[in-house]
Structure 1
Amino acid sequence: MATVINNLTTDQSALLAFKADVTDSRSVLANNWSISYPICNWVGISCGARHHRVVALNLSSFSLGGIIPPHLGNLSFLVSLDISENNFYGHLPNELGKLRRLRLINFAYNELSGIFPSWIGILSRLQILSFHNNSFTDRIPDFLLNLSKLEFLNLMENSLSGSLPNDMCSRLPKLEKLYLGSNDFFGQIPSSLSECTHLQTLWLADNKLIGRLPESIGNLSKLTLLNLAHNNLQGPIPRSFYDISSLTKIDLGFNSLSGSLPNDMCSRLPKLEKLYLGSNDFFGQIPSSLSECTHLQTLWLADNKFSGRLPENIGNLSQLTDLNLAQNNLQGDMPTAIGNLQMLEHLNLGMNNLSGPVPPTIFNISTIRLINLIENQLSGHLPLTLGHSLPNLEFLTLSGNNLIGTIPNSITNASKLIGLDLSSNLFSGHIPHTFGNLRFLRFLNLMFNSLTTESSPSDQWSFLSSLTNCRSLTELALNVNPLRGILPPFIGNFSASLRKFEAIKCELKGSIPQEIGNLSGLMFLKLDDNELNGTIPTTVGRFQQLQGLSLYDNDLQGSIPYYLCHLERLSQLLLNGNNLSGAIPACLGSLTSLRELHLGSNTLTYSIPSSLWSLEYILYVNLSSNSLSGPLPSSIQHLKVLINLDLSRNQLSGDIPITISGLKDLATLSLAGNQFNGPIPESFGSLISLESLDVSSNNISGKIPKSLEALLYLKKLNVSYNRLEGEIPIKGPFRNFSAQSFSGNYALCGPPRLQVPPCKEDKGKGSKKAPFALKFILPLIISIVLIAIVIMFFIRRQNGNTKVPVKEDVLSLATWRRTSYLDIQRATDGFNECNLLGRGSFGLVYKGTLFDGTNVAIKVFNLQLERAFRTFDSECEILRNVRHRNLVKIFSSCCNIDFKALVLEFMPNGSFEKWLYSYNYFLDILQRLNIMIDVALVLEYLHHGHSLAPIVHCDLKPNNILLDENMTAHVSDFGISKLLGEGDDSVTQTITMATIGYMAPEYGSEGIVSAKCDVYSYGVLLMETFTRKKPTDEMFTGEMSLRRWVKESLPHGLTEVVDANLVGEEQAFSAKMDCLLSIMDLALDCCMESPEQRIHMTDAAAELKKIRVKFLQQSSVAGTN
């Protein structure tokens, strides 16, 4: 008895020491583990009946935290250890290796990191082992395969890499469940997996596996669940696969598998319940024998190349709850037998070529929650009884079809409806007043139809009265309908939940009612392109949440109200194309959130308020076609991230300020049609991002600066109708400009194609051609100038009397206005596989062509993935607020209930990774150096030059660096980036999503994110760029890493680590080696173990530029010797 007490005392001491060393936020242990109670009665403790020792410790979900104390190693009789779903972090203590009786270890859902300790391999009795959702790195260690009794192994959601061990199944013969998903495993699926003859679950989803499914997979005769989704698997499914008759769930989605489905699939897989084959390349018809899968509950074949008609007998799948066949090429009518699926909850047939009417039978499925039939060729009327049998319907999306007739009043009987999208059809008639019965309605989209409103004596939109009863409504879109009429005062009766109200091009007239100011939660108000008059109501100043106010192309009058300055969150103000007058309110300069200001095509007067030039984070300013006067101040330089500045067709005067040249991100500058004089500043040559420059119709004199030849992106130039003289530059972008760019000037000369006289050759004062020039050419020039002045007079007079409609910059429109799903579908040719650029962690990237011929990259997010919504929001938030020539530009976004995409700048040369590792491409030292400088500059901007809140990219690697047509680098993929708070140097996050090998130590082990994490990743990237070795290369195992390999090789072994293709025996060998050594030293400075010891990106960028200058000088000297 004394021995038992002593042993229990040992266990008690170990547990009390454990309790003392961990954090216990809910005080679970503090309130239960007390010496006042028997240890075997403590919460989470189980004792053995024989020895009365602690045999099981289950502390799952106790909200404990800290480093796992070593005292647990003293619980020598422990059989089961479960500390899952807590906040433990750091490395596993070696003392746990003493627990030789352990049969179960569950450390899932913590923040543990490092590599697996070797003591795990000596726990020979282990049957269950789970490290799910931690941050372990490296490969599956060999000693793990010594656990021959293991039946359950779960290593999902870590940062493990390497190939799957070939001998895994021969050494773990009892394995029944294997979970290795959401890691970075690569290579092929080993055929030896067939030796796991007891395997019931195989989960390898979300890795980087390639190749074909092994034929031997058919030998896994006990397999019930197989998940290989989100890899890069290719080829057809082997015939043997269908021999696994025990399978109940198959998920092969998001790969590149191909082939057709066999007719005997269901007879060979009789127990199949869930089949996910979406986002692959399967083709052919959907076999009619699919109806034999009588247990099938989920059929997900979306985003493939299936064609033909939907089989009529699909209605025999009586157990089906989820049917998703979207994004295929299915044709013909929808089978009426779908209505027989009386357990169906989700029906998604969107984005096909289905035609004919919508079968009324689908509206009789009482269990259905979602119906998505968008982007087909469906026609006909909706049944008048549409909502009578849909008590559970939450989402009905029918946009992008050819449906006609009226919207049935009965739709409001579907009382649980949350989202209703009937946009882009041919609906007519009135908007039902019964919509007010939909108390849960949050999204209502009726855009692009022919809907009208009931006539009334007051001509008001009476249907809005009913909609005000929808107290959960957050988005209401009525754009492009001939609704006509007047906004009623009761628009102010909507609840505070309304976030977005859009009524663009609806033939609205009258004034905007003051009551609209009651919509206190409104974030976006868009009433563009109507016939609204009167003044902007004073109550707009109550919109404290407002981010976008768009009232352009109306007939609003009066002055711009000062109370707009109360809208502290306003980022977009579009009032152009109205009849607003008076001065621009100086207080607009206090709206620090403002990113886009469009006041063009009004009758504004006086000077531009100086406060406007203090909006240092504004991106777009358009004040064109007004009567603004006065000079431009030098303080315009404070608009440091400005992209587009249009001040054309005003009465501005004075010299063009040279400080404009400090706007390094400026892409479009228009000062045309003013009274500017003096020269075009020579410093304009430093506007490195400039794409369009228009200073026409002014009084500008002097010469066209030759420095403009350096503007590589300049596509449009107009300096016509000024007093310019001298030679027109001929290099750089000037090779592509026509005579129209230079017409109507004083004395320009240049090539004949520009329709100006040739320039004289300077042969000194004694030239014999001078008398000839004075006698013949000079009178000709004077005549031309006089004619030009007369022409210019009439043109300017005509321009002065005409209110020119504003034409907004394409980028501006795209950036701040959402793109519709239909536009994206058309741009990608129906998401054609031929346009697929790549597959990312959160979706697919397509090449698209917009309606104006612009090529773009379209990133489509897979909303089935966890964190996809957060990733989309993160990219939108960051990309819309930053601008740098080395960042990928965001043109627009599409954000619907079930579809999210970003429209980005297209990079024709693809990823840096492709150029670095493909044998079809080669980058020399200077090209690689230029790319690394581009990346350094953009990181410097994100960390120090963007705003008060630095941005940390968090996932810098070659695949996230894209190259444009000039091989200029652009950093992309901000899905996991972090925006640090003002004054914060770092933040901590619980889940690390960065790529293994590039991740800073403090990020991987403790989740600490700071700008120094990017510096570390950049150092790894520098080494990789010039060694052509990935940090995850197979040679880097155990303690050896890319960083250590480089460090131990310098300086004498430099030639052993750098890419052999970069060095040779030519004259510049010494210059190359000196350059490469300097780069590697800099890379090591970036990769210091401690964040405090790493240099800043500002210093790294400056040092790289010095290295480039020195290399060019040494190479030049070597070339002349």
Structure 2
Amino acid sequence: MNGLSGNIPLTINYLQKLQGLYLYNNNMRGSIPEGLCDLHSLVDLYLSQNNFFGPIPECLGNITSLRDLSLESNMLTSSIPSSIWRLTDLMYLDFSSNSLIGFLPPEIGNLLKTILINLSMNQLSESIPSTIENLISLNALSLAHNLLKGSIPDSVGRMISLISIDLSYNSLSGSIPKSFEKLQYLDYLNVSFNALRGEIPTGGPFVNFTIESFKGNDALCGIPRFNVPLCNNNVSKHMPRMKNVRLALFIVSGVVLLISLLSLAFIFVRYKRKNQAINGIDGLVPTVPERISYYELLQATEHFSETNLIGMGSFGSVYKAVRRDGKIFAVKVFNSLSEAACISFGVECEVLRNIRHRNLTNVISSCSNEDFKALVLQYMPNGNLDKWLYSHNYCLDLMQRLNIMIDVACALEYLHHGYSILIVHCDLKPSNVLLDEEMVAHVSDFGIAKLLGEGESTMHTNTLATMGYIAPEYGLEGLVSTRCDVYSYGVMVMETFTRKKPSDDMFDGDLTLKNWVQSSLNNESSIEVIDANLLNTENEQGFEKNVQCVSSVLDLALKCCAESSGDRIDIKEVLTELQKIKGRFSRSD
């Protein structure tokens, strides 16, 4: 999202250790160079929303480390390379909105770990292979707006993790498989505008569907609620009651209209971005890749023993868990007796299963019943930023702190600008910034986050976050906006480079962390507020360089913490400035 143009340089293959390439939403063009295939450590490849043309390189299937592959909204042609179906560890595949031809081979069933597949808005033909039933981890599938024909495989009913499936605008025939009634998690179905016929199932998830899921199929029949003709086997028993049926249809049509509007709004929030059926870029992951039972969690945490306790928060506790296969993850257990904790669990589920970004907590699974609620999350071996700032056993150098603040800014930019709705975290602070094995920062704890719908920029709330990080309008009026996150971020930046909490005992009366930093910068005595650990350099030149760098960062933090929300800098500008500061600091080495 930088307005980049031109081709991908042929020298890209020199970046042998590159793990993520994010060039989406630019004006780049040309063909996708085969030099990308030499990047054997590549995990994420996002080239979507550009002007790339030509075929998808066959050799992309040789990058076995790939987990996320998004080429949507380009001008790519030819068929999908057969090598793609060999990427058995791929989790997100999005080739939508191109001009791809050919068919779906049986090998699509090899993608056992894939969570999202979006091949909509192409020219794929022939039938859907029955081997698609192997995709038992798949949550979201969109094959809409293609040239597919034949029947919908009954085997789709065995894809137990499906939440969303869109097969609309094809030439599919036959009936809607009754096996779909077994898909207990399915809450979005669209088979409209095909050539389907026969009775619409009524069991399982179909109790929540409306005519919007089936319209444009003139030969379908079913119960009156679907606003389709009655099936032949039902006509005779309904004839004596036609007057009642007409009245019922009149009432039902009003209810259907209301439900349709609510369903469409719900679907838009959860599964659409930029008017596409399913978008795999940056996120929009409908749910989690695997299901973990309560019994497995008990075993992995040794019955939630204190020896595995990582931390405690307002709504529950976090434990380290080690599965029998050696995989390590974190389990966030919510206090089921607390109404606030249960609400927090619901909010985190809603937010985390709909977003995905390198600098956000990666949710693995969830486990919930009346007495137990938990999220299974990516384990962060380096703990949180708070630990690194205040422990005597750890110390972050200047570059590490800069990189962590850039990571957090990247996460906020995505939450505020990279998703179809605005997401306000509402509780940014060092303890909610987790660090993985590479010291990459991940923003966590979305328990009081707010989702602002289309056209909304602010909302009121009675939920308060951590004192000292709250923006004035949030604390006084309960008014929440993305600018509140920017304020909290500014406070956290000041804390990171001064090593002073906003709640420190030295801040009393009118003296606050913000005032203290501002006064020092105004008097050109920033050295007084900078963490002494950042000034222990070998020579005077290094000392001056660090002072100048931190002073620039603190000045930027103050712009984030302007008293009036309208005067605060936007997070996009923050990210740009931080990267410039980092660039100047790096060049001066």
Using the size of structure 2 for normalisation, the TM-score is: 0.56
Q: Secondary structure at the match of 1:882?
A: coil
Question: Are residue 545 (structure 1) and residue 211 (structure 2) matched?
Answer: no
In structure 2, distance between residues paired with 1:1077 and 1:1085: 13
Residue 818 (structure 1) shift: 4.1
Matches within 5 A, 1:744-893: 815=288, 818-893=291-366
For residues 685-741 of structure 1, what are the alpha-carbon distances to aligned partners after superposition, in whole Å with 9 as ceiling and x for unaligned? xxxxxxxxxxxxxxxxxxxxxxxxxxxxxxxxxxxxxxxxxxxxxxxxxxxxxxxxx
Q: Secondary structure at the match of 1:822?
A: helix
In structure 2, distance between residues paired with 1:911 and 1:640: 23
Sort the Cα spacing of 1:881 and 1:976 in 2 relative to 1 into closer, same or farther, 3 A.
same
For residues 10-30 of structure 1, what are the alpha-carbon distances to aligned partners after superposition, in whole Å with 9 as ceiling and x for unaligned? xxxxxxxxxxxxxxxxxxxxx
Q: Is the 8 A contact 1:594 1:617 kept in 2?
A: no
Sort the Cα spacing of 1:617 and 1:1002 in 2 relative to 1 into closer, same or farther, 3 A.
farther
In structure 2, distance between residues paired with 1:981 and 1:921: 41
Residue 992 (structure 1) shift: 3.1
1:1010 aligns with: 481
Question: Are residue 1069 (structure 1) and residue 543 (structure 2) matched?
Answer: yes
Question: Are residue 957 (structure 1) and residue 409 (structure 2) matched?
Answer: no
Q: Is the 8 A contact 1:595 1:618 kept in 2?
A: no
Sort the Cα spacing of 1:524 and 1:930 in 2 relative to 1 into closer, same or farther, 3 A.
same
Letter in 2 for 1:870: I
The structure with the greater share of residues assigned to strand is 1
571, 582, 586: which one pairs with 1:1108?
Answer: 582
Q: Secondary structure at the match of 2:288?
A: helix
In structure 1, distance between residues paired with 2:542 and 2:318: 41
The structure with the greater share of residues assigned to helix is 2
In structure 1, distance between residues paired with 2:277 and 2:437: 30
Q: Secondary structure at the match of 2:493?
A: helix
Matches within 5 A, 1:338-487: none
Question: Are residue 899 (structure 1) and residue 372 (structure 2) matched?
Answer: yes
In structure 2, distance between residues paired with 1:1074 and 1:1028: 17
Q: Secondary structure at the match of 1:1068?
A: helix
In structure 2, distance between residues paired with 1:929 and 1:618: 31
Q: Is the 8 A contact 1:825 1:831 kept in 2?
A: yes
2:449 aligns with: 977
Sort the Cα spacing of 1:1111 and 1:503 in 2 relative to 1 into closer, same or farther, 3 A.
closer
In structure 2, distance between residues paired with 1:847 and 1:562: 52
Residue 993 (structure 1) shift: 2.4
For residues 836-870 of structure 1, what are the alpha-carbon distances to aligned partners after superposition, in whole Å with 9 as ceiling and x for unaligned? 11111101100112343221100000111231111
1:994 aligns with: 465
Question: Are residue 922 (structure 1) and residue 585 (structure 2) matched?
Answer: no
1:1048 aligns with: 519
Q: Is the 8 A contact 2:406 2:579 kept in 1?
A: yes
| Structure 2 residues not aligned, in runs of 5+ | 1-156, 162-174, 189-195, 211-216, 222-263
2:573 aligns with: 1099
In structure 2, distance between residues paired with 1:1023 and 1:923: 15
Letter in 1 for 2:374: A
Residue 524 (structure 1) shift: 4.1
Sort the Cα spacing of 1:957 and 1:982 in 2 relative to 1 into closer, same or farther, 3 A.
same
Residue 618 (structure 1) shift: 3.1
For residues 398-421 of structure 1, what are the alpha-carbon distances to aligned partners after superposition, in whole Å with 9 as ceiling and x for unaligned? xxxxxxxxxxxxxxxxxxxxxxxx
| Structure 1 residues not aligned, in runs of 5+ | 1-500, 506-510, 527-533, 548-558, 564-589, 598-610, 620-638, 644-811, 1117-1121
Q: Is the 8 A contact 1:1085 1:1094 kept in 2?
A: yes
Letter in 2 for 1:1085: K
For residues 436-487 of structure 1, what are the alpha-carbon distances to aligned partners after superposition, in whole Å with 9 as ceiling and x for unaligned? xxxxxxxxxxxxxxxxxxxxxxxxxxxxxxxxxxxxxxxxxxxxxxxxxxxx
Sort the Cα spacing of 1:1005 and 1:912 in 2 relative to 1 into closer, same or farther, 3 A.
same
2:279 aligns with: 618
Sort the Cα spacing of 1:979 and 1:1064 in 2 relative to 1 into closer, same or farther, 3 A.
same
Residue 1071 (structure 1) shift: 1.5
Question: Are residue 1034 (structure 1) and residue 508 (structure 2) matched?
Answer: no
Residue 1063 (structure 1) shift: 1.0
Residue 819 (structure 1) shift: 2.6
Question: Are residue 1090 (structure 1) and residue 558 (structure 2) matched?
Answer: no
Q: Secondary structure at the match of 2:292?
A: coil
Sort the Cα spacing of 1:1041 and 1:596 in 2 relative to 1 into closer, same or farther, 3 A.
closer
Letter in 2 for 1:1077: S
Q: Secondary structure at the match of 2:331?
A: strand
In structure 1, distance between residues paired with 2:319 and 2:563: 39
In structure 1, distance between residues paired with 2:482 and 2:184: 35
554, 558, 561: which one pairs with 1:1080?
Answer: 554
Sort the Cα spacing of 1:977 and 1:504 in 2 relative to 1 into closer, same or farther, 3 A.
closer
Q: Is the 8 A contact 1:513 1:537 kept in 2?
A: no
Matches within 5 A, 1:271-350: none
Q: Is the 8 A contact 1:908 1:964 kept in 2?
A: yes
Q: Secondary structure at the match of 1:1078?
A: helix
Q: Is the 8 A contact 2:520 2:526 kept in 1?
A: yes
Q: Is the 8 A contact 1:593 1:617 kept in 2?
A: no
For residues 731-771 of structure 1, what are the alpha-carbon distances to aligned partners after superposition, in whole Å with 9 as ceiling and x for unaligned? xxxxxxxxxxxxxxxxxxxxxxxxxxxxxxxxxxxxxxxxx
Q: Is the 8 A contact 1:836 1:844 kept in 2?
A: yes
Residue 1018 (structure 1) shift: 0.4
The alignment's C-alpha RMSD in Å is 3.9
Sort the Cα spacing of 1:615 and 1:592 in 2 relative to 1 into closer, same or farther, 3 A.
farther
Residue 831 (structure 1) shift: 1.1
In structure 2, distance between residues paired with 1:900 and 1:1044: 42
Q: Is the 8 A contact 1:992 1:1004 kept in 2?
A: no
Q: Is the 8 A contact 2:332 2:374 kept in 1?
A: yes
Q: Is the 8 A contact 2:405 2:493 kept in 1?
A: yes
Sort the Cα spacing of 1:504 and 1:522 in 2 relative to 1 into closer, same or farther, 3 A.
closer
Sort the Cα spacing of 1:1008 and 1:514 in 2 relative to 1 into closer, same or farther, 3 A.
same
Sort the Cα spacing of 1:1050 and 1:612 in 2 relative to 1 into closer, same or farther, 3 A.
closer
2:490 aligns with: 1019
In structure 2, distance between residues paired with 1:852 and 1:562: 48
In structure 1, distance between residues paired with 2:354 and 2:409: 19
Sort the Cα spacing of 1:536 and 1:1016 in 2 relative to 1 into closer, same or farther, 3 A.
farther
In structure 1, distance between residues paired with 2:269 and 2:563: 39
Residue 546 (structure 1) shift: 5.7
Sort the Cα spacing of 1:592 and 1:925 in 2 relative to 1 into closer, same or farther, 3 A.
same
Q: Secondary structure at the match of 1:815?
A: coil
Query: Equivalent pairs: percent with the same residue?
Result: 50
2:109 aligns with: none
In structure 2, distance between residues paired with 1:1094 and 1:830: 47
In structure 2, distance between residues paired with 1:914 and 1:1003: 27
Using the size of structure 1 for normalisation, the TM-score is: 0.30
Residue 503 (structure 1) shift: 12
Residue 539 (structure 1) shift: 3.5
Question: Are residue 913 (structure 1) and residue 574 (structure 2) matched?
Answer: no
Greater Cα radius of gyration, structure 1 or 2 = 1
In structure 2, distance between residues paired with 1:866 and 1:612: 32
In structure 1, distance between residues paired with 2:343 and 2:543: 49
Residue 890 (structure 1) shift: 0.5
Sort the Cα spacing of 1:591 and 1:1023 in 2 relative to 1 into closer, same or farther, 3 A.
closer
In structure 2, distance between residues paired with 1:1022 and 1:816: 34
Sort the Cα spacing of 1:536 and 1:954 in 2 relative to 1 into closer, same or farther, 3 A.
farther
For residues 990-1012 of structure 1, what are the alpha-carbon distances to aligned partners after superposition, in whole Å with 9 as ceiling and x for unaligned? x2320000000111111000000
Number of aligned residue pairs: 361
Q: Is the 8 A contact 1:953 1:1014 kept in 2?
A: yes
| Higher-RCO chain (CA-CA 8 Å, sequence separation at least 6) | 2
Q: Secondary structure at the match of 1:1023?
A: helix
